[in-house]
Amino acid sequence: MIYLAFLLLLTVHHPNLTSFVGYCDNGRSMALIYEYMANGNFQEYLSSEKAENLSWEKRLHI
């Protein structure tokens, strides 16, 4: 069943989302593989001191 979820993730494409590339399952552990995020991830951006408060207009646009 989890394999079907991975296949679904491979079909999701949106400019504001990182692409799911694949997964690795060696029997003991599993890893999800996403495209490289050159500017860091959203959590890092939100928690940085440079983060700006987003207006509702900007939030809705995202």
**Domains identified in the chain, total number:** 1
Residue 46: its pLDDT value, please? 73
Taking the model in full, what pTM does it have? 0.53
**32-50 tens-digit pLDDT:** 888 888 877 777 777 777 7
Residue 1: its pLDDT value, please? 63
Q: What's the CA gap between 10 and 6, in Å, rounded?
A: 6
Q: String of b and e for 11-45 (b: at least 16 CB within 10 Å)?
A: eeeeeeeeebeeeeeeeeeeeeeeeeeeeeeeeee
| pLDDT at 24 exceeding the cut of 80 | yes
pLDDT-based confidence at residue 12 (cuts at 50, 70, 90): confident
Q: What is the 3-state secondary structure (H, E, C) of 27-59?
A: CCCEEEEECCCCCCCHHHHHHCCCCCCCCHHHH
Structural domain boundaries, residue 31: 2-61
